[in-house]
Structure 1
């Protein structure tokens, strides 16, 4: 695998971004692929961008390998999804390093409690568990995390 380039998503890529998002979400075992889910994700991308998302993709020579949605004013890593064919190749770590370059002092995120692979990874990457809450829009229990840059002491 080459090293995908992380760059802002273009509007003409939103449908493909939604497909990558769906395939990655389905790979967690928490949902099944459907035209309904894909349509919802497509609509959500446009709505979230209007509400402040900065949307990035990992571009592997024209193939979208991952999507990353940040809400910079809120210091929020909202979505990080790697296409199944690219999972296990450190692309998530590259996207997280990119996120830390955008928000170098503090980052908040949340993830579904049942997505244990994801939240354990965030914990290994230095995120600290804050709380759990039910997300009313989908009924999932969400785990909330925070990462804060460690300042040298002395």
Structure 2
């Protein structure tokens, strides 16, 4: 079976990107799916792109399998979400390798403290914990991580 292709997202895919974001986020058990959450994410996607996101998708023959949002100038991996039916098959690792191609020297990211599966995965992938800080807009405690290319 061919691997999904990682490519830039098209504007006509933003609603689908928001759906994947919501379904993957909900799969963490930290929030329940709702029309309100989906509407919030649908509104946020184009706003974030306008504010500097480089937005990528993993395209599985026309079906979106994942979304990846980077702030390249800040070396920031903002969002990496894999649709639940694609989780556990190495797609997240491929997206992280893709990120390292675009940010070859350093990457920083934030993870919700309660999303232990995610931050443990980043630790296994070579990211070092730097600090924990509350996010005032969401109320979540965020763990900050950084990866630097070895000398």
Instruction: Give your verdict on TM over 0.5.
Output: yes
* Length-normalised TM-score, structure 1: 0.97
**1:143 matched to which residue of 2?**
143
Please name the residue that 1:77 is paired with: 77
Q: Which residue of 2 aligns with 1:49?
A: 49
After TM superposition, give the deviation of residue 17 of structure 1 in Å. Answer: 0.4
Map Cα deviations across residues 44-84 of structure 1 (whole Å, 9 max, x no partner): 11111111000000000000000000000100000000000
Give per-residue Cα distances to partners, 1:86-117, cap 9 Å, x unaligned: 00000000000000000000000000000000
- Secondary structure at the aligned position of 1:29 is classed as coil
1:28 alignment counterpart: 28
Rounded Cα–Cα distance in structure 1 between residues aligned with 2:129 and 2:2 = 34
User: Within 5 Å, which residues of 2 pair with 1:90-129?
Assistant: 90-129=90-129
SS in 1 for 2:131: strand
Unaligned stretches of 5+ in structure 1? none
Q: Deviations over 1:118-140 (max 9, x none)?
A: 00000000000000000001000
SS in 2 for 1:133: strand
CA distance in 2, matches of 1:112, 1:33: 17
Specify the SS of the correspondent of 2:126: coil
Residue segments in structure 2 that go unaligned for 5+ positions in a row: none
> Across the two proteins, how many residue pairs are aligned to each other?
151
Distance (whole Å) between structure 1 residues aligned to residue 67 and residue 104 of structure 2: 20
Deviation at residue 2 of structure 1 after TM alignment: 2.6
Deviation track 1:14-66 (CA, whole Å, cap 9, x = no partner) reads 00000000000000000000010000001111111111000000000000000
The whole-number CA distance in structure 1 between the counterparts of 2:126 and 2:137 is 28
